[in-house]
A = this chain, B = another copy of it.
Amino acid sequence: MQGAMRVIGLAFLLCVVWKAEGQMQVKRPRMLLSASDVQHMRESMGKYAPFDQAIDNAKKMLDQAINRPIDVPVPKDAGGYTHEKHKQNYKEMQASGVLFQITGDERYAVFVRDMLLTYAALYPTFGRHPKAASADSGRLFWQTLNETVWMVHVAQAYDCIYDWLKPADRAVIEGKLLRPMASFFTVEHAATIDRVHNHGTWMVAAVGMIGYVLNDKNLVDVALYGTKKDKKSGFVRQMDLLFSPDGYYTEGAYYARYAIMPFVLFAQAIENNQPELQIFEYRNQILKKALSSALQLTDVSGRYIPINDALKEMSILSPESVLATDVTFQRYGGDKGLLGIAQKQGSVSLDGAGLFVARALQGGKGPFEFPYESVEFTDGARGDEGGIGILRSGPVSDQSMLVMKYTAQGMGHGHYDRLGILFYDHGKEILQDYGSARFINVEPKYGGRYLPENDTWAKQTIAHNTVAVDGKSHYSGVYKIAQQNHADRHFFAASDPDLQVMSGKAEGVYKDVSMQRTVAMVCDNTMPNPVIIDVFRIDSKSEHQYDLPFYYMGHLVSTNVPYKACDSVRTKLGSSNGYQHLWKEAEGKAAGSSTVTWLNGGRYYSLVNAADSSTEVLFTRVGASDPNFNLRNEPAVILRRNASSTVFATVLESHGSFDPVEEISFGASGNVKEVKVLASTTEATVIEINGTGSLRWIFAVVNGEASTEASHSIAVGGKTFSWKGNYWLWKK
């Protein structure tokens, strides 16, 4: 997956052979479950603990559900009772269908039938949802997204009880509910079907699956190839466009986790109905790569990297992640690393894939461990729209992870954060991405939707660990422009575990300003933990204000910057572009290298910058202009410099230990004392790092064209430094 641009693989011909309806004697179920899955599941009961647990959980849920009166409420809210109730209903129907198949207990079939008949009676009476925020509104839910998810579940439930149902009931359910809803999607929301976007994926999955259930070739074809069936849109086209050749999903890991679910669900249905399409092989096994890249974009605790509009708590424990893991394990020959994920998940999906994983966990020789690695994923359908790099060092129990984002915008949920970085260490966020401003489904918080502060704060450049110029966001925060542009990979080199380096470039994020950021993870036996070197080079002919924030997590311990504390009256840092949400807590001018040290999770972290008296150091906290208490009040240190061309050179060192239970603290000061920029030319940037003992490092990175072969030399104060390749680290 490392390497330069990829050429998109030629889509192999999808040879669709549809049996004429009259000839078909459909063997059911055949959505997520096949008849042979059901047979295996019946035979396996009592044998595999995680699978038994999945059955038990479903039974418990249904035991309660069956004893409650059926409630199909008139749609009212966007995150309150009626919203949650319709979600609960589809989950219960889906599980009940599966239980009927496994146990043969008719109570489960009755439950699904009665619920569907209730929906069938009411659905025709519902108009557009009263909380509809846009044209993209459903009838049961405020947005079609939820409505398609409803349909994906109901298609499975209906499939499970189809043979058991009386034809008259089928006629009602199909005539009053399923077909009208399918029409609602294909007619009123044709644009969404043809949209290359996760909402589109859910919709084609819903339409396609209901197509298979109803044995309706037209619906299936629309789902697979777009409303015009010209393959310019639809599921297959989405598989081409929504992932890079490496499997990176353009909205980022949090949305990959969500988007992958309809891909996997629909792919399973396709495989069970049209195996000749070989959907899991499509585009060099792109679905496998999609999951793999999403999992690499988690920290070792399993939480997805919160780039773009992401909720930080979201992890591999989510139901979508469990399903995708299980299906991928089943369909792609049982990758042992995935069992490490499955083990952490502690649960399996209630289907053939889940059974497959449960069996492998029990039979295989553990412990299983997902192979977290240093890896780069390209962005864009052709892999030529930048990318995202991850450097890792150390075992899962104490791993350092550095992420740099030099992707494209990532559609509407993308942030203006080109060349932003995130750092994790020892199981903790150390330099954070704020993620999104949202309390998902929490009704009193703006109906559970993205908060207004998501736009005014979370998306803005200053909310990220990257440079904001002249107090503005990248591309002036204009989505249309941002979406047409991407950052670029410069190079990614992770083969030497002691010196891993990646570099990205961003041109045109601001007019006449070029940016390049290079970050290195260095392991050295004189340092207790990996050291991060961060060289942010900015090139411009005219003078600008450059702000580089570091959203550190933890409690500030000390700084060598002489500062004035704003601890009597507090004011905002600015009035727009996110600055209005920052309180200024203190400000100072660096005198020589500036050091800021904080404490997090029993470890100290020091950020040492090659600052000087021209560099202002601002200590800020999120939370201004926030009348509804929507934001988390978290700190940052911002380096501000007015210059034309400049370099922010920074070392991040973790050191020492604090154990409040043992009452032991040591190493509260780091080893690195000074960072200096020796030179920065069109050819290369060279910095010097000095510290305690004999610590003296020179780090150089090439600014021109990347090449592992080219030789470079640069003269600094009478000395000439020479090296071959894209970077060079010299240690005294």
Stretch of A18-26, A122-130, A348-356, A625-633 at the chain-chain interface:
A625-633
Interface 9-residue window, one of A46-54, A269-277, A399-407, A552-560? A552-560
The CA of A318 and the CA of B669, in the complex, are separated in Å by: 25
| B-side contacts of A373, CB under 8 Å | none
The complex places the Cα of A585 from the Cα of B629 at a distance, in Å, of 9
Give Cα A626 to B572, complex, Å: 18
- Asked if A439 is at the interface of the complex by the 8 Å CB criterion, the answer is yes
Q: Quick one: given A568-B572, A570-B570, are A660 and B627 in contact (CB under 8 Å)?
A: no
* Shortest Cβ distance from A443 into B: residue: B668
Tell yes or no: A597 within 8 A of B by CB.
yes
Give the chain B neighbours of A570 by CB distance below 8 A: 569-571, 583, 624
> Could you tell me the distance between the alpha carbons of A403 and B448 in the complex, rounded to whole angstroms?
34
**Residues A661 and B315 in contact in the complex (CB < 8 Å), given A439-B599, A442-B668:** yes
Q: Does A621 contact B (CB under 8 A)?
A: yes
Q: A624 — which chain B residues lie within 8 A by C-beta?
A: 567-568, 570
Complex interface: chain B residues within 8 A of A440 (CB): 660, 663, 665
Are the C-beta atoms of A558 and B665 separated by less than 8 Å?
no
List the B residue with the shortest CB-CB distance to A556.
B629
Contact across chains for B558 and A664 when beta carbons are under 8 A apart: no
Contact A571 B569, beta carbon cutoff 8 Å: yes
- Assuming the contacts A441-B665, A599-B442, A668-B442, asked whether A565 and B627 have C-beta atoms less than 8 A apart, the reply is yes
The residue of chain B having its C-beta at the shortest distance from the C-beta of A558 within the complex is B444
Query: In the complex, what distance in Å separates the CA atom of A583 from the CA atom of B632?
Result: 16
Tell me which of A558, A565, A567 has the highest count of chain B C-beta atoms within 10 A of its own C-beta.
A567
Cα-based distance from A448 to B668 in the complex (angstroms): 11
On whether A318 and B599 interact (CB within 8 A), knowing A557-B442, A668-B443, the answer reads: no
A604: min CB distance to chain B, Å: 9
What residues of B have a CB within 8 angstroms of the CB of A619 in the complex? 629
Is A313 interfacial (CB 8 A cutoff)? yes
- Nearest chain B residue, comparing its CB with the CB of A598: B629
A442 is contacted by which of B569, B583, B661, B665 (Cβ under 8 Å)?
B665
Question: Which B residues are CB-close (under 8 A) to A439?
Answer: 555, 557, 599, 658, 665
- Which residues on the B side are within 8 Å of A317 (C-beta)? 661
B-chain residues with CB within 8 Å of residue A586 when the two chains form the complex: 627
Residues of B within 8 A of A43 (CB): none
**B441 and A84: CB pair below 8 A?**
no
Residues of B within 8 A of A314 (CB): 660-661
Contact with B along A412-445 (1 / 0, CB 8 A): 0000000000000000000000000001111111
CB within 8 Å of B: which A439-465 residues: 439-445, 448
Which residues does chain B contribute within 8 Å of A313, judged by CB atoms? 660-661
> In the complex the two chains form, is A318's CB within 8 Å of B661's CB?
yes
Question: Which A residues from 643 to 692 make CB contacts under 8 A with B?
Answer: 658, 660-666, 668-669
Q: Which residues of A496-513 are within 8 A (CB) of B?
A: none
Q: Does A311 contact B (CB under 8 A)?
A: yes
Closest to A665 in B: B441
Counting contact residues on chain A (CB < 8 A from B), the size range is 35 or more
Per the bound structure, the CA–CA distance linking A129 and B108 in Å amounts to 78
Is A164 on the interface with B (CB-CB < 8 A)? no
Verify A569–B569 contact, CB threshold 8 A.
yes
A319 at the interface (CB under 8 A from B): yes
**Complex: how many Å from CA A628 to CA B564?**
10
Cβ-based interface call for A79 (8 A):
yes
Which among A79, A621, A629, A658 has the highest number of chain B CB atoms within 10 Å?
A: A629
Assuming the contacts A444-B557, A555-B632, A569-B569, asked whether A664 and B319 have C-beta atoms less than 8 A apart, the reply is no
Q: How far is the CB of A493 from chain B (nearest CB, A)?
A: 35
Given A445-B557, A658-B442, the answer on whether A567 and B627 have CB atoms closer than 8 Å is yes
Q: Does A81 belong to the interface (CB within 8 Å)?
A: yes
A650, chain B: closest CB distance, angstroms: 20
Q: Which residues in window 596-646 of A have CB below 8 A to B?
A: 597, 599, 619, 621, 623-629, 632-633
Q: Which residues of B contact A599 (CB under 8 A)?
A: 439, 442
Q: How far is the CB of A444 from chain B (nearest CB, A)?
A: 4
Give Cα A597 to B442, complex, Å: 12
B contact residues around A658 at 8 Å (CB): 439, 441-442
By the criterion CB–CB under 8 Å, are A666 and B84 in contact? yes
Report the separation of the CA atoms of residues A250 and B281 in the bound assembly, to the nearest whole angstrom.
Answer: 71
A443: which B residues are within 8 A, CB to CB?
A: 665, 668
Nearest opposing residue in chain B for A575, CB measure: B568
A555→B660 contact, CB < 8 A:
no
A311 vs B448: C-alpha distance when bound (angstroms):
36
Expressed in whole angstroms, the minimum distance between the Cβ of A262 and any Cβ of chain B is 15
B565 touches A660 (CB 8 A): no
CA distance in complex: A628, B315 (Å): 36
**What's the Cα separation between A319 and B585 when bound, in Å?**
39
A84 touches B664 (CB 8 A): yes
Which A residues are within 8 Å of any B CB, using their own CB? Answer: 79, 81, 84, 87, 311, 313-315, 317-319, 439-445, 448, 555-558, 565, 567-572, 583, 585-586, 597, 599, 619, 621, 623-629, 632-633, 658, 660-666, 668-669
Q: Write 6 A-B pairs (CB below 8 A) sorted by A numbering.
A: A440-B663, A444-B669, A445-B557, A565-B627, A567-B627, A568-B572
